[in-house]
Amino acid sequence: MTVDVVVCGAGPAGRALAHRCLARGLSVVVVDPAPRRRWTATYAAWMSELPGWLDAGVVAAKVDRPVAWGVRRHELPWMYAVLDTDALQQSLDIAGAQVISERAVEIEPGSAVLESGTVVSGARVIDARGLGRSPQRAEQTAYGVIVDAQRSAGLEPLFMDWRPDNGANRTATRSFLYAIPLGGGRMLLEETCLAGRPALDSGELRTRLLHRLRSRGIELGGDEPVERVRFSVEGARPGPDRFGAAGGFIHPATGYSVAAALTAADSIAAGASASPLSARAVHTLRAAGLRALLALPPGDTPVFFDAFFTLPPHRQQVYLSGRTDLRGTAATMTTLFAALPTRLRRTLATAVLPRRG
């Protein structure tokens, strides 16, 4: 039997795509070794990135003008949305699909070979199997605690806070505090290593988080639920039928991909390429941006983000969200480069050259 679309991988990207294909009346097979695995990660996005078809009930909390700290305080002129993960997973309904609980071991145009040897055929076969981990790949890591309404009272939501009050050695890789409301008065307070090769480990991030919270007068009870984050931010191979993290949708400067996948799902369901030429070119520029991030001297990281958050809002926005906007992404990178202190420009100019091997 040949169906219209075979989607391999039922994470946020694969499930969103299967859902949009079903909404178009297409026949869909979803392949995933654990298709009913409950998602537990806290997903967030810029409100403007969420597509109109998405159920408004998946937004658990909104932050108007979230704050970022480099050396200075910046109010970002956008609305930030924190998603209700359970509601998101449920709203991406795939009840009309045939679901196969298996691994796809080989994906080719027109077919996927499963671990059992079964071959599933489809007019289109999409690889949404996510990104594997490897020591060669830069990763984002984080350690967070969820505090209740009483402990979170008065805390300001923070998109990124690079202030140095987390007890880390001044020459060590920097990490920042991410503090977002989850709805119901609860907040996630998370110490985050934006990108590292290797990234900071969970133990170090926990120590830093506790130090930082203590220095801000926030005492924990010790029984708070914990979120641990670790995922690759490089190593994807963009392609017309590779979607989500597998297709290079993760932005290495934020680690975000969920909203980009939700946004693109409809057009891909309608037959568009997951990675048009413009997206591949932006992916190459973003990879250069990642090399710059990894090369930043720790003491200069807040200076770099001050320069970024001082750019005109549309320049920032296009860099954060413009997955296919080559001209805008290049213009933001050029403008940012020109705004940096000379010593940083020299370091970053060398770093952005492609890696050998």
Ligand X SMILES: Cc1cc2nc3c(=O)[nH]c(=O)nc-3n(C[C@H](O)[C@H](O)[C@H](O)COP(=O)(O)OP(=O)(O)OC[C@H]3O[C@@H](n4cnc5c(N)ncnc54)[C@H](O)[C@@H]3O)c2cc1C
Residue 116, classed as helix, strand or coil, is: coil
Q: Determine if 129 is a binding residue for ligand X (CB under 6 A).
A: yes
Closest CA to 183 of 329, 81, 69: 81
To ligand X, the closest distance from the beta carbon of 273 in angstroms equals 17
Q: Whose Cβ is closer to ligand X: residue 186's or residue 307's?
A: 186
Binding residue for ligand X (CB under 6 A) from 5, 28, 42, 303?
Answer: 42
31 binds ligand X (CB under 6 A): yes
Q: Which of 159, 231, 305, 309 binds ligand X (CB under 6 A)?
A: 231
The Cα 65–Cα 41 span in angstroms is: 23
- Contact between 10 and ligand X per CB under 6 A: yes
Choose between 110 and 167: whose C-beta lies nearer to ligand X.
110
Among 3, 7, 9, 124, binds ligand X (CB under 6 A): 9
Sheet holding 119-127, edge to edge: 98-100, 28-31, 2-8, 119-127, 111-114, 104-108
Does residue 351 touch ligand X according to CB under 6 A? no
The CB-nearest residue to ligand X is 11
Residues between 75 and 114 that touch ligand X (CB under 6 A): 103-104
Smallest distance, Å, CB 139 to ligand X?
A: 10
Instruction: Retrieve residue 167's tokens.
Output: 């007890």
CB of 140 to ligand X, least distance (A): 8
CB of 190 to ligand X, least distance (A): 9
By CB under 6 A, residue 41 contacts ligand X: yes
- Closer residue to ligand X, CB minimum distance, 59 or 229: 229
Number of chain positions touching ligand X (CB under 6 A): 32
- What character string, x for contact with ligand X (CB under 6 A) and - otherwise, covers 199-228? ----------------------------x-
Nearest-5° Cα angle at 241, 133 to 130: 20
Element (H, E) at 260: helix 258-269
Out of 43, 143, 159, 319, the only residue in the binding site for ligand X (CB under 6 A) is 43
Residues 6+ apart with CB under 8 A from 271: 124
Residue 31 or 213 with smaller CB distance to ligand X: 31
User: Per rule CB under 6 A, is residue 130 in the interface with ligand X?
Assistant: yes
Which are the contacts of 129, defined by CB distance < 8 A and separation ≥ 6? 8, 9, 14, 104, 246
Angle at 197 between CA 196 and CA 203, to 5 degrees: 65
Pairing mode, if any, of strands 2-8 and 28-31? parallel
181 counts as binding ligand X under rule CB under 6 A? no
**In sequence order, what DSSP letters do the residues of 182-242 get, joined into one string?**
EETTEEEEEEEEEEETTPPPHHHHHHHHHHHHHHTT----S---EEEEEEESS----BTTB
3-state SS, residue 110: coil
Establish if 258 lies at the interface with ligand X (CB under 6 A): yes
Interface segment toward ligand X; rule CB under 6 A; list 43-51, 297-305, 306-314, 317-325: 43-51
In 3-state terms, the chain is what percent helix, strand and coil (to 5)?
35, 25, 40
Rg of the chain, C-alpha, whole Å: 21
Binding site for ligand X (CB under 6 A): 8-14, 31-34, 41-45, 103-104, 128-130, 227, 229, 231, 244-245, 250, 255-259
